[in-house]
Chain A
Amino acid sequence: MRKQINQRQKAKILAAVVTVVLAAVTVCGILFTEAAMETDFLSRNQAPSAVHIFGTDWMGRDMLFRTLAGLSLSIRIGLLTAAISGAAALLIGIGAAVLGRKADASISWCIDLVMGIPHILLVMLISIACGRGFTGVVAGVALTHWPSLARVIRGEVLQLRQAPYILVAEKLGVSKMRISAVHMFPHLLPQFLTGTILLFPHAILHEASVTFLGFGLSSEQPAIGVILSESMQYLTTGKWWLALFPGLSLVLVVLLFAMLGERVRKLLDPASVHE
């Protein structure tokens, strides 16, 4: 009995630590945005040292500050897009399951459509439609990540609709809107929350990828994608630190988000609550 409680507590502590670390990175990034822009032409292209842990780039900017600012931007975009995508998935998923056959068929068709175009290509297209830049990336990533979660929620609602208490509510004449909001939503919450948190890693990775290709954030912004695409020009001359550290930090942040999602899933999922 004691061990079970410990397992849960461990998961809670880990989730809390991860959240704090991510929040710290975000705040640091915002605070260091100024420092990331600071150029110092006396110390250009320096390899990592005690003064500049991540080295400096061709304009003498400190790579640690640039990386932090980039990560912070990535996390904020990730939060925004995952929230939009998650909300869209919830509405569309419930809509598909509740609004009747025709709505279901057309929504399934839309999901197939979005899943048929390779993700990165679709993000590119939407970003172009919005004129690239910040709006382009946010719209592109937010509008492409809902289908898989929407499918999960649709399946869940379809099962739930046959549950006795929902049938009773229907017989009692409770409206569809009210049933979805009051009776179904609380049941979907765990799935929805974990699904949304697990959208972050994808959202962040796609944001960085699209920016890297030149369809996302403009080159003045301190984004990880921009840093890495700039570093491509200096690879052959052996400036490995320009690519290694920013990329590694991005991987770490994404891993932390994935871990957070796993922990939350374990805490909320009834099947593994007592593990």
Chain B
Amino acid sequence: MNDDDPISVVLFSGTDDRLQAAAVLTAGAAALGRPVHIFLQYWALDAFRADRIGATLPLAPEAGPEGRAAVDALAAAGQQSWSETLRMAKEIGEVDIQACSLSMDLLNIEQSELDPLVDGVEGVTAFFATASSGQLLFI
């Protein structure tokens, strides 16, 4: 394992907290010079739609009302949205974001409807070929 081994992330969740966690992990890896490959599935893909990317999304069930208040407080203190964190991650390092083609079918959308953060569409086979070295996360 080398310091600059890639990190592959299967990003499935469409809640604000998990998307932000994924964005922070991605930015941290990018800052260390580790290439990051993100594969968007299901509700995460849905969150990357151009007309949804700025929306306030729900939080994971375990957040509860206290969690919502804590997340809102951090945002009010200046924390950027998860999409802005990902844009910055792309500026400082190698971050590639692919949409899962099956999930594109599920949501009945085309690439043109996705935010420019998404670099392309691929299937699991191409993703696993990319993910064969380095580490793999599921969020």
A binds B: no
